[in-house]
Amino acid sequence: MQFGSQVVLRDITLSIPRGQTVCIIGESGCGKTVLLKTLIGLIEATQGQALFDGRALTRLSERELALQRTRFGFVFQQAALFDSMSVADNIAFPLRQHTTKTSREMYDLVLQLLTDVGLPESAARKKPAELSGGMRKRVGLARALALSPEVVLYDEPTTGLDPIMSDVINELIIRTRQLYPVTSIVVTHDMHTTRKVPDRVIMLYPVMRLKQGERQVLFDGPPSELDACRDARVTQFVRGEAGERLMEMAEKRSTLASQS
């Protein structure tokens, strides 16, 4: 995937089987969210293709692609709720767009989804501004589940939350997998999420920092093997160690100073 002269994703070849939970990790700017959007056809890869259920998304008509996307649920980083709508209307929005359910049927489903994400019935009447960050994230998850998707994608689901609420979201991701037969793909920087939630971890590295011929995927395996990875770049990210990066920054400052 390339934007102008900037290459964001390079030679990515992945296969995610049905029912698997995957965490995609890596430092800012390595292409995690771009990969997520490419997987469901929100953006089209510069080269190559994304296939879902054996069909290339780029070969579908607009109508077919819109129908295909109803098989996905997307939990956005900041929940992306409609501020002017109640919680109930936010969750029911995809139901109104894509189903013929009656108002009563939709409201009953909304209440069930609120229960599934651990929110009380009283939350249905509130506006997003009346909710905490963690509650908004849960409403976003409820909306993503409204059409019973086969795949749920999470973009930084614990960003901005305290450790306790972050773990509530982690437990909800796990519980969602148990309640619904879904494939889950989670983009995250949160190492607690990375160790607890997925069956598989994929770590990307920024293309601009790679040497010629190096793969962008530095790690692809179960979370239990992260600590045993021999790639120092993986170890530094997992442990949150900035030593090498600080040295690079110091070298750049020194070079700039000498040039001036």
Question: In this predicted model, what pLDDT tens digit does every residue of 29-66 receive, in sequence order?
Answer: 899 989 988 888 888 889 998 888 888 888 888 888 88
Q: Residue 192: is its pLDDT beyond 80?
A: yes
Higher pLDDT, 71 or 260: 71
Across 66-92, average pLDDT: 85
Q: Using alpha carbons only, how large is the chain's radius of gyration in Å?
A: 20
pLDDT at 80: 80
- pLDDT(23) > 90: yes
Tell me the three state secondary structure of residue 252.
Answer: helix
The average confidence (pLDDT) of the chain is 88
CA–CA separation, 188 vs 27, rounded Å? 10
Q: How confident is the model at residue 255 (pLDDT cuts 50, 70, 90)?
A: low
Which token pair is 233?
């770049």
For the stretch 119-151, pLDDT in tens is 889 999 999 889 888 888 889 989 998 988 999
* Matching residue, tokens 């509650």: 135
DSSP label of 211: P
Q: Which domains does the chain have, with CATH numbers?
A: 2-71+149-259 (3.40.50.300)
| pLDDT at residue 182 in the model | 92
| pLDDT at position 249 over 70 | no
* Secondary structure (H, E, C), 28-87: CCCCHHHHHHHHCCCCCCCCCCCEECCEEHHHCCHHHHHHHHCCEEEECCCCCCCCCCCH
Confidence of residue 216 (pLDDT cuts 50, 70, 90): very high
Give the whole-angstrom CA distance, residue 112 versus residue 99.
17
Residue 94 reports pLDDT greater than 80 = yes
7: confidence class by pLDDT, cuts 50, 70, 90: very high
More confident residue, 107 or 259: 107
pLDDT band at 259; cut points 50, 70, 90: low
pLDDT for residue 29? 86
